[in-house]
Structure 1
Amino acid sequence: MKIGIVGAGAVGLLFGFYLGKHAEVTMYTRTSTQADSIQERGIVCYTSGKAKATAVKAKVLGEELPADEFLLVATKQYHITDLIPLLSECESKRIIFVQNGMGHLNAMQTIQKSIAVAIVEHGAKKVSGNEVEHTGQGVTKFGVVQGDSMDFTSFLACFPPTFTVLEEPDWKQVMQHKLIVNACINPLTALYRVSNGALIYNAYFYQTMRQLFTEVIQLLDVQESEFHWKRVCEVCVQTASNRSSMLTDVTSNRPTEIDAILGYLLQLPKAHEVKAPLVSFLHKSIKGLEM
């Protein structure tokens, strides 16, 4: 089976490493330097200090249209709009999106193909062009947006038992649950320049995160708030030493996914009724740091 992966960041490399054990994987990268590195050395994954490698192919995105049976899109959310023409024209009939936030939902549903989403709860850190560190074991939740679940049966069978994938019929709710976690953790860590655990162990940061959480669930009109708050705190503890992807983007002078997370919340219908000054402040602050 042939699986293409568009985007060779931390998540793309992580999926390439595990899927490459049971499928013919091609990584589609932005640069020829990274493609050459992956092609020559494979993808090296570090887990608990031990390194293992998986051989995969690599090409520069745009040199030719992908024709893989499945195409997994692991780019940042803000690249999706530019990718729509390529994804619509390519021969791949089944496409899986792996992004933070929910700002890309409308764009991906314009593609007339079988579409699915994967919500990743693993910790991953890109070490180099062909190396990734699996920093936290989790699960991947999978949901079919367009098409039939049978369209993706063979794709899901390619994951090894150590990389748990759970099929979720209510994929939108699962994405919303992750959005709550991302909205409460990522912008604050990026602004304060701290690891995730600081939001729990610093009393002032903790109080700010609680206030932010209250605004987030009001904008989403979500019930069972204590369940979600417990989950946010658990993620902070479980990933205490991790730096959020938004913090990494800010410190590396790269665009962030703030529009797909807080920007998405500010465009919801509830935003006309609910006061969310902290959400608005953080959205503007991170946008300012991108300039």
Structure 2
Amino acid sequence: MKIGVIGPGAIGMLFAFYLQKAGASVTIYTRSMEQAEHISRFGISCNLDGQVETQFPDAVPLGAIAIEDDYVFVAVKQYDIGLVLPHLQRTQARFVFLQNGMGHLSLLQNMQQKCIAVGIVEHGARKETAGSFVHTGMGVTKLGILAGEEEFQALLPLFQAPYFPILVEKNWEEVLRSKLIVNACINPLTALYRVRNGVLLTNPAFHNAMKQVFSEVIFVLDEKEERWEHVCNVCRKTAENQSSMLTDVKLGRETEIDAIIGYLLMQAEKQNKQVPLLAFLQQSIKGLAP
């Protein structure tokens, strides 16, 4: 089976590594020739609990060759989807999009292809170099199929390893909403305060700030207070993790603040709801990582 992975960040390398390990023929599509050459020469190395293993997928810059894979995992940040979509128009592959937030759903629903899914990734991964990453937390990939359900059945056996499982979610929109709530409460605050996830629980002032953000999020989404316990549980389980938004801020890269908080602000505007704290967070993160 031929698998394409677009985007060699932490999540892209995670999928390329484990799918190649499971027996697929993987091609990872990079932004630059330099990174493609690095991966072609040295492979992709995964550090899991101090044990390092390397797999050797093919690697080429996106656009250098036609995409002829059976399945393509799109692992770029949400703000780069618009740059990737033109490369997908001439292929009939089945697509799995692995972005945070929910702002990209309208784009996916307008695609001409017949087989499209979203993946909600609950693994922790941290990119170390152009061809290596640390698998910081084992989780599950939850697959929500927008169109072409039967076409994705052949993909599922590649996720049999206990450290890289998959779960097909019938109510995938609910799963996306749940992850959106968690991301909105944790990522911007960790980026603003420059702390690891768990500090939002142990620092009383930061904990109160997270609860205030949560209140505005569920106000926009018409959700219940019971969601708070899930947010705290995720924060507790990922206590030692550095959020991807904090990493982006530290490196001066564009963040996914518009994909997460920006989506909530658009929903609030449609409903004429005032959410000043969410607006403050969006502008604060944009100021830190323009």
Return the TM-score normalized by structure 2: 0.96
Aligned to 2:228: 229
Once residues 92 and 78 of structure 2 are traced to their aligned partners in structure 1, the CA distance between those partners, rounded to angstroms, is 20
Q: CA deviation at 1:53?
A: 1.3
CA distance in 2, matches of 1:269, 1:255: 23
- Residue of structure 2 equivalent to 1:245: 244
2:7/2:28 contact within 8 Å kept:
yes
Post-superposition Cα deviations, 1:37-90, rounded to whole Å, max 9, x if no partner, equal 21122211000001011121100111122110111100000001122221122x
What's the CA shift string for 1:170-225, capped at 9, x where partnerless?
111111100000000000001111110110000000000000001001101113x2
Query: Secondary structure at the residue paired with 2:111?
Result: coil
Structure 2 equivalent of residue 287 of structure 1? 286
The 5-angstrom pairing of residues 88-237 of structure 1 reads 88-89=89-90, 91-113=91-113, 114-147=115-148, 149-162=149-162, 163-223=164-224, 225-226=225-226, 228-237=227-236
Q: CA deviation at 1:242?
A: 1.0
Structure 1 residues 44-53 or 262-271, which shifts more? 262-271
Instruction: Give the Cα–Cα distance (whole angstroms) in 1 for the partners of residues 92 and 159 of structure 2.
Output: 19
Aligned Cα root-mean-square deviation (Å)? 1.2
Which 4+ stretches in 1 moved above 6 angstroms? none
Give TM-score, length-normalised by structure 1. 0.96
> Do the aligned partners of 2:268 and 2:274 also contact (CA within 8 Å) in 1?
no
TM-aligned CA deviation for residue 271 of structure 1: 5.5
Q: Could you tell me which residue of structure 2 aligns to residue 18 of structure 1?
A: 18
**Structure 1 contact 13–43 (Cα < 8 Å) conserved:** yes
Match of 2:58 in 1: 57
1:11-47 deviation line (CA, Å, top 9, x unaligned): 0000111100220000000111211121122211000
What's 1:45 paired with?
A: 46
Structure 1: segments with no counterpart, 5+ residues: none
8 Å Cα contact 2:6-2:76 kept in structure 1:
yes
- Paired positions, count: 287
Distance 1:18-1:201 versus aligned 2 partners, 3 A rule: same
Q: How does 1:24-43 map to 2 (within 5 A)?
A: 24-43=25-44
Per-residue CA distance 1:73-117 (angstroms, 9 max, x = gap): 00000001122221122x242110001111111112221111000
Please name the residue that 2:260 is paired with. Answer: 261
User: How far, CA to CA, are the matches of 1:109 and 1:143 in structure 2?
Assistant: 13
Contact map agreement 1:84 1:108 (CA 8 A) in 2: no
Kindly indicate whether the alpha-carbon contact (under 8 Å) linking 1:87 and 1:111 is maintained by their aligned counterparts in 2: no
Q: Contact 1:42–1:53 at 8 Å: present in 2 too? A: yes
Secondary structure of residue in 2 paired with 1:8: coil
How far the C-alpha of 1:269 sits from its partner, in A, is 5.2
Partner Cα separation in structure 2 for residue 24 and residue 220 of structure 1: 41
The question of 1:75 aligning with 2:76 is answered yes
Gaps of 5+ in 2: none
Corresponding residue for 1:276?
Answer: 275
Structure 1 CA distance for aligned equivalents of residues 209 and 273 of structure 2: 18
Give how far 1:270 is off.
6.5
Report the Cα offset of residue 272 of structure 1.
3.4
Between 1:269-278 and 1:112-121, the stretch displaced more is 269-278
Does residue 9 in structure 1 map to residue 14 in structure 2? Answer: no
**Distance in 2, Cα, partners of 1:60 & 1:82:** 13
Query: 1:127 aligns to what SS in structure 2?
Result: strand
* Alpha-carbon distance between aligned partners in 1 of 2:62 and 2:100, rounded to the nearest angstrom: 21
Given that 1:29 and 1:59 are in contact with CA atoms closer than 8 Å, whether structure 2 keeps it comes out as yes
Query: Do 1:220 and 1:270's aligned partners in 2 also have CA atoms closer than 8 Å?
Result: no
Alpha-carbon separation, structure 1, partners of 2:138 and 2:56? 22
